[in-house]
Amino acid sequence: MKLLIKGARICDRNSPFHGKVKDVLIDRGRIGIAAEGLKTDKVINGKGMFLTPGWVDMWCWLADPGFEHKETLESGLSAAAAGGFTGIALLPNNQPVTQSKNDIISLKNAAKGVTEIFPLAAVTRETNGTELTEMIDLHSAGAVGFTDGFNPIWHSDILLKSLQYLQKFDGILINRPEDRHLTQFATMHEGIQSTMLGMKGMPELAESLMISRDIDLLRYAGGKIHFSTISAGESVALIRQAKKEGLNVTCDMAGFQTEFLDEDLNDFDTNLKVNPPFRNKTNRRALIRGLKDNTVDVIVSAHCPQDEESKKLEFDLADFGLISLQTLGANLVSLSEEIPLEQLLDKVSVRPREILGMPAAVIDDGREANLTLFDPNAEWEFNGSSNRSNSRNSPYIGKKLKGKAVAVIRGTTTELL
């Protein structure tokens, strides 16, 4: 199909057309800029929209294999495409855990349609933190990074050896910072609100303490580390200082992290039970500053589907997580009230590829198409008919949102939304 996108603003700092409004033709999987006088099968009026390199999610759980009652690869990939993603990096916390070459190859081959799977392999066997996986073999099979996913790497010597081992092939270690000795049995942010609600809280220290440890080990051993789904102001400050020192450290935060505060948990809505938790206004302001000065490199979906049996429980018994692939665009629009949208779009399109060591998906004449067309003014409702996930654990269900992907294109595959 020949598709002409008319009048969209190109948002790609690697492109010679960055910041310019252009007509873009996609023909047989290739890009043509300012193409005129050509017959096309479909024309999209892109006025007021942004054309970016295809979005990449660096932190996504699709629960398959092993937990297909929560999500399947098919439903998760469909939700990812509807959210604007042409690539998703999948956490290894499946059954079986993604820890063998066959696991990596199977996941890569499972992707059908416009969204590609980038498997993240486990750092330790069964993600239990005690025995390293065969990381060189996993890298050769196509793993784009190494993480124990939901499980923080608690063992200092394991983290040290991982940093050293990964330097053999310039691999990246991704860690979710949480000292679980400080968060055991906790359900929300530790503060005035948790005290008023009578809930055990997760202190900010549980996150910043592990980041401080990891940075010290990075300073000692070298290598590169990426902190995922940070939530605390002290975490931002530590990472900012590490970057000033020249250490190879990057980080991301969930797109929904600044959308809610701990005070929003008054009604004990389990759809707001996430880990890391929604924190207070002070932490929110620090995250916003971190996004503005690029201390926070990437924005992720942190998609975590849960079935009803895992969420329709008392708050302290319910599982953590919410579905978020399709609502990330609306999160970006909300954040754009304080941060330029172009800067935010870079954090979901260009920067993830740089951190994961992938080739850039440049918007230029003759390049293979890998594109997301995003309309920040589109108003839509996230409901039972528009939700493509198998799960419904989202505070946005039934809500009207602003900001939506209109089309995703990868090679000769196009999905119009």
In tens digits, what is the pLDDT along the chain, a chain of 417 residues?
A: 899 999 999 999 999 999 999 999 999 999 999 766 667 889 999 999 999 999 999 999 999 999 999 999 999 999 999 999 999 999 999 999 999 999 999 999 999 899 999 999 999 999 999 999 999 999 999 999 999 999 999 999 999 999 999 999 999 999 999 999 999 999 999 999 999 999 999 999 999 999 999 999 999 999 999 999 999 999 999 999 999 999 999 999 999 999 999 999 999 999 999 999 999 999 999 999 999 999 999 999 999 999 999 999 999 999 999 999 999 999 999 999 999 999 999 999 999 999 999 999 999 999 999 999 999 999 999 999 999 999 999 999 999 999 999 999 999 999 999
Structure tokens at 357: 């060591």
pLDDT at position 41 is 87
Clarify whether residues 32 and 87 are in a common domain: no
Clarify whether residues 66 and 40 are in a common domain: no
For tokens 């108003």, the residue is 379
For tokens 């998703």, the residue is 88
- Domain annotation covers residue 383: no
Strand 145-146, strand 116-121: pairing: parallel
CATH number, domain with residue 173: 3.20.20.140
**Angle of CA points 84, 87, 92, to nearest 5°:** 125
Clarify whether residues 125 and 263 are in a common domain: yes
Chain-centroid distance, C-alpha 390:
19
- Domain annotation covers residue 100: yes
pLDDT 10s digits, 289-342: 999 999 999 999 999 999 999 999 999 999 999 999 999 999 999 999 999 999
SS3 content of the chain, % helix, strand, coil (to 5): 30, 25, 45
146: left (phi over 0), alpha (psi -120 to 50) or beta: beta
Cα separation, 168 vs 157, whole angstroms: 18
Clarify whether residues 160 and 252 are in a common domain: yes
Clarify whether residues 301 and 239 are in a common domain: yes
Clarify whether residues 84 and 19 are in a common domain: no
CATH number, domain with residue 369: 2.30.40.10
Clarify whether residues 38 and 82 are in a common domain: no
Number of structural domains the chain divides into: 2
For tokens 């990246």, the residue is 172
Burial classification of residue 21, based on how many CB atoms lie within 10 Å of its CB (0-12 exposed, 13-18 middle, 19 or more buried):
middle
Q: Considering Cα of 256, then 257, then 261, then 265, what sign does the dihedral take?
A: positive
Clarify whether residues 32 and 145 are in a common domain: no
Cα separation, 171 vs 169, whole angstroms: 5
CA–CA distances in Å: residue 368 to residues 25, 32, 297, 365 = 12, 10, 25, 9
The continuous run of DSSP H or E covering 57 comes out as: strand 55-60
Domain of 36? 3-50+365-376+399-416
Which residues, 6 or more positions from 244, have their beta carbon under 8 angstroms from its beta carbon? Answer: none
- Domain annotation covers residue 44: yes
Clarify whether residues 27 and 79 are in a common domain: no
Burial classification of residue 63, based on how many CB atoms lie within 10 Å of its CB (0-12 exposed, 13-18 middle, 19 or more buried):
buried
Side-chain half-sphere exposure of 197, counting CA atoms within 13 A? 22
Clarify whether residues 326 and 233 are in a common domain: yes
Task: Phi first, then psi: give them for residue 90, nearest 5 degrees.
Answer: -95, 135
Clarify whether residues 324 and 338 are in a common domain: yes
pLDDT at position 36 is 63
- Domain annotation covers residue 394: no
Tell me 132's DSSP state: B
pLDDT at position 40 is 85
Structure tokens at 346: 């870079």
Cα separation, 330 vs 93, whole angstroms: 27
Clarify whether residues 206 and 66 are in a common domain: yes
pLDDT at position 37 is 60
Please, which residues bridge with residue 85 across strands?
A: 55
Q: Is the peptide bond before 65 cis (omega within 30 degrees of 0)?
A: yes
pLDDT at position 346 is 98
Strands (E), 134-205: 145-146, 173-175, 188-189, 201-202
- Domain annotation covers residue 185: yes
Cα separation, 398 vs 207, whole angstroms: 33
Cα separation, 341 vs 332, whole angstroms: 7
Cα separation, 72 vs 61, whole angstroms: 10
- Domain annotation covers residue 11: yes
- Domain annotation covers residue 389: no
- Domain annotation covers residue 125: yes
For tokens 């873009």, the residue is 24
